[in-house]
Amino acid sequence: MLLEVCNVEKSYPLAGSGLFSNKKRQIINDVSFSLEQGDCIGVIGESGSGKSTLARLICGLEMPNRGHIRLNGKNVVIADTRKNHISVVFQDYASSVNPLMTVFQMLSEPLLLNQKLNRQQLDARISELLLLAGLPDDLKPRHAHELSGGQIQRIAICRAIATNPELIILDEAISSLDVSSQVQILDLLARLKSQLNLSYLFITHDIQAVAYLCNKVLFFYQGRIIERCNIDDLVSVKHQYAQRLLKSVVSFD
């Protein structure tokens, strides 16, 4: 099993409850699921249901209060996504890249974390990544302000795949884009998944995007998984919230 999330719980101190109060608000409630190599699992839920908190726990940016998270049988280590072999692509593409860096520098950074490459090798690997993401090679000297939102998100995806991670977490990775860029990025993610044999945890509000990209789906509600199913069984979900989500989609095929 690639990823195992077992009985995970996370709470934060309750706002306004005083410095010495131990009152807490439970954000993640007894969440368990597993992801096999090659899976793309969609995590869908409304705003504030705890999806991003779950993402931060899985990639080791925070630790759970209870339960455990294992990647390839090893416990995920706090604040070491490199050791954890997990990459993350966030929603806010503009702030996910350094505005002072060129595309070449943005892509050099993750590549040089793991290996020693000379300038020529680095240049060749960056060309390869740009090609994989459907971007022209002449973007290398450009800065973020000289790129479109869709191009920046493709660069963020290049950064995510640069380290050959075991798992990529896509946290609302298409939400800030216009509809046509969303479709293009979904196509890119689907192509990279089969080309590089990637595994994704795809966090979103968008059930149609889940239906397009994922083979399994978890419905998240108030920090709990309230329903889970294979993508082919979407129409037979039982929970009211999951049914409501499905009904909210005008055309669904």
Ligand X SMILES: Nc1ncnc2c1ncn2[C@@H]1O[C@H](COP(=O)(O)OP(=O)(O)OP(=O)(O)O)[C@@H](O)[C@H]1O
**Smallest separation (angstroms) from ligand X to the CB of 246:** 18
Q: How far is CA 204 from CA 77, 100, 134, in A?
A: 25, 29, 23
**Smallest separation (angstroms) from ligand X to the CB of 17:** 11
Tell me which stretch binds ligand X (CB under 6 A): 40-48, 128-136, 143-151, 209-217: 40-48
Tell me which stretch binds ligand X (CB under 6 A): 45-53, 115-123, 156-164, 232-240: 45-53
> Which residues inside 189-218 make contact with ligand X, applying CB under 6 A?
none
CA distance 39 to 55: 16
- Any bridge partners for residue 169, and if so which? 88, 201
CB of 163 or CB of 175, closer to ligand X:
175
> Which residues inside 18-37 make contact with ligand X, applying CB under 6 A?
27
CB of 47 or CB of 118, closer to ligand X:
47
CA distance 187 to 134: 11
CB of 69 or CB of 162, closer to ligand X:
69
**Smallest separation (angstroms) from ligand X to the CB of 23:** 12
Tell me which stretch binds ligand X (CB under 6 A): 51-59, 66-74, 136-144, 238-246: 51-59
CA distance 57 to 175: 21
**Smallest separation (angstroms) from ligand X to the CB of 90:** 10
Place of tokens 């195992």: 4
The one among 8, 44, 45, 129 contacting ligand X by CB under 6 A: 45
52 binds ligand X (CB under 6 A): yes
Task: Residue count of the chain, please give it.
Answer: 253
CB of 53 or CB of 81, closer to ligand X:
53
Strand stretches in the chain, DSSP E? 3-13, 24-35, 40-45, 66-71, 74-75, 86-89, 167-171, 200-204, 216-221, 224-230
For residue 167 the two structure tokens come to 């798992």
Size of the site for ligand X (CB under 6 A): 10
- Any bridge partners for residue 31, and if so which? 8
- Any bridge partners for residue 70, and if so which? 4, 75
Amino acid at 144: A
Are 82 and 114 in contact, with CB atoms under 8 Å apart? yes
- Any bridge partners for residue 42, and if so which? 202, 217
**Smallest separation (angstroms) from ligand X to the CB of 137:** 35
> Which residues inside 2-21 make contact with ligand X, applying CB under 6 A?
12
CB of 54 or CB of 86, closer to ligand X:
54
The one among 49, 87, 108, 182 contacting ligand X by CB under 6 A: 49
Residues that bind ligand X (CB under 6 A): 12, 27, 45, 47-53
